[in-house]
Amino acid sequence: AQSVTQLDSQVPVFEEAPVELRCNYSSSVSVYLFWYVQYPNQGLQLLLKYLSGSTLVKGINGFEAEFNKSQTSFHLRKPSVHISDTAEYFCAVSPSNDYKLSFGAGTTVTVRA
Amino acid sequence: NAGVTQTPKFRILKIGQSMTLQCAQDMNHNYMYWYRQDPGMGLKLIYYSVGAGITDKGEVPNGYNVSRSTTEDFPLRLELAAPSQTSVYFCASSYGTGVVGGKLFFGSGTQLSVL
């Protein structure tokens, strides 16, 4: 079985400042990793995913994440946030031969002017 | 192209009542899922389906039932509503497994309160 731990439940940040959201996972098999974003009163949207290859993955809206196999982490970063990045962010994992995602508890990012 | 459509958006039930949450997708996806989202808990998988006529339990199936008679529709049934089922419910679909399996398309959710 897989599990995901998001280390921060809430992250306040000022506009144009950088942000990092931390995600650790555990699994006995090889996995795919994902970050989803949920804007207020909406469903989740895929930000980016790691399947294989380069450990630095770029996604939409200027986000990127780095896969670190030795530390079993998949942290999400953005160098300069906007007010519109205020949302809840979910890290997720699935076995590479399966189709069911396990989600973390989420990190709420609040961007202030 | 509507994507994943969920109805209703909001519902209040009394304890013991039953209801069906509707979910339809128009992307011809084989895989469909029902998740519930509780504050601070992330999303938990209730049931999933890999194609018409095939369903299976997820992490938290107790108190729910599903059916998948067509590729497009995947309704979720609550038979005897309980306060513990107060949650936001999301339906999702995807193309399949492997390199394309992780991109789930989500509906906008159903907020259910059981009082």
State how far the Cα of B81 lies from the Cα of B66, in Å rounded to an integer.
15
CB atoms closer than 10 angstroms to residue A75: 18
Chain B residues within an 8 Å CB radius of A102: 45
SS (H, E, C) A38-69: ECCCCCEEEEEEECCCCCEEECHHHCEEEEEC
Q: Which of residues 48-107 of B touch A (CB under 8 A)?
A: 48, 50, 58, 90, 92, 94, 96-99, 101-104, 106-107
State the 10-residue block means of pLDDT for chain B, 115 residues long.
Answer: 90 96 94 91 92 94 96 96 96 75 85 95
What is the CB-side half-sphere exposure of residue A6 using CA atoms within 13 A?
29
| pLDDT of B109 | 93
pLDDT in tens, A6-26: 999 999 999 999 999 999 999
Q: If 0-12 CB within 10 Å is exposed, 13-18 middle and 19+ buried, where does residue A80 land?
A: exposed
Is residue A35 within 8 A of residue A89, CB to CB? The reply is yes
